[in-house]
Structure 1
Amino acid sequence: MKTLEEWFAEYAVSHQNRTNKKIHYICVPAIFFSVVGLLMSIPNRGLISLVHSDNFLYVNWAVAALILVIYFYLRLSLRMAFYILIFATLCVIGNFYLAKIGPLWLISLIIFSVAWVGQFYGHKLEGKKPSFFKDLQFLLIGPAWILNNWFSQPK
């Protein structure tokens, strides 16, 4: 199994262009946020009966999926799993309140689509294919790479 540093090194190869990096700093979190919103939009009747609660904030398909996502990161780094847990929690809370404004699935779909257009534009500038074309696990490495860059920047 690769270490987190090995994943980051491989991911960084197709993320050297300054503009592409800036685009990723916006679009990768937006995609993560929108996927959480899309998952929260799935009716959760099965989950409600399973856990005997109907609290939409924590009984939804996004939280169920994020448990698996956190496990993926725990296998790589306790610190990164903690960062992702904080970010994922903020995404769930943000989507909870976004759902009060309008149809969450539609808002999430728009964010998702716009962010992916940005991602592909960034890779066009970079001149390299997105990493996930090589390995789908890079879809989970991208958010960690962004958080790692945010938290490791000199002050």
Structure 2
Amino acid sequence: MSKLVHHLTLYAAYHRNPHNVATHMVGIPMIVLGVDILLSRPILPADPISLTPAIALSTLAAFYYLGLDAMLGAIMTALLVIGCWMGIEVAQMPTGLWLTAGGGLFIAGWALQLVGHGYEGRKPAFLDDIRGLLIGPLFIVTEIVFALGARRNVRQAIEKRLTKPSERGHHGHDLPS
């Protein structure tokens, strides 16, 4: 089994309720954009592009995603670039507005996650595996890709693992059937 299927299966086990998935579809992008905004200061002028902590972290994340899957990694990389660009744009605003925008998105996004996990009746995945913080955005993109009818083989592999009663999840937890 690929690392992609492994990580997405572990994450999906915590996100079976459609209401939870829906809150994540909105909340995770808000969190990622909030982080991009907050980490877009300080800006280190460089040529051809200025550097920020957001760009450094997004570059590392992009390599991680590309290592899991070329196509999904390319989509994630494009989204990370857009997030960094938006972060830099907001970071150029007055400090109060920059902090309000970044902090507001971050807090509101996490509030949505808590609401979603209330529907799910299960704690967030990252509490058992910190990689869930990286897999969450990939899960959202993958769910959209699945909804568009692409990557059926990946979806089938994940669903098969989630419904196998003998499969064990991360840290020995049973995956839901």
Question: TM-score, normalising length from structure 2?
Answer: 0.75
After superposition, the C-alpha distances for 1:49-86 in whole angstroms (9 at most, x for unaligned) are: xxxx277x642111111111112112211112201111
After superposition, the C-alpha distances for 1:93-128 in whole angstroms (9 at most, x for unaligned) are: 222333355532331011100110110111011100
- Number of residue pairs matched? 147
Q: Percent identity?
A: 27
The 4+ residue runs of structure 1 with deviation greater than 6 A are: none
1:126 aligned to 2:120?
Answer: yes
- How much has 1:140 moved relative to structure 2? 0.4
1:125–1:117: structure 2 CA closer, same or farther, 3 Å change rule? same
Structure whose alpha-carbon radius of gyration is higher: 2
Instruction: Give the AA of the match of 2:100.
Output: L
What CA distance in whole angstroms lies between the structure 2 residues aligned with 1:110 and 1:73? 27
Residue aligning to 2:83: 91
- How much has 1:33 moved relative to structure 2? 0.9
1:147 aligned to 2:141?
Answer: yes
Residue aligning to 1:137: 131
Q: What is the 5 A alignment of 1:19-58?
A: 19-41=19-41, 43-44=42-43, 47-48=44-45, 53=46, 58=50
What CA distance in whole angstroms lies between the structure 1 residues aligned with 2:36 and 2:148? 30
Residue aligning to 1:16: 16
Give the 3-state SS of the residue equivalent to 2:138 in structure 1. helix
Q: What is the 5 A alignment of 1:62-101?
A: 62-101=54-93
Give the 3-state SS of the residue equivalent to 2:39 in structure 1. helix
Alignment root-mean-square deviation, CA: 2.1
Higher RCO (Cα < 8 Å, 6 or more apart): 1
Question: TM-score, normalising length from structure 1?
Answer: 0.85
1:150–1:137: structure 2 CA closer, same or farther, 3 Å change rule? same
> Which structure 2 segments of 5+ residues have no match?
150-177
What CA distance in whole angstroms lies between the structure 2 residues aligned with 1:96 and 1:74? 24
- How much has 1:34 moved relative to structure 2? 0.9
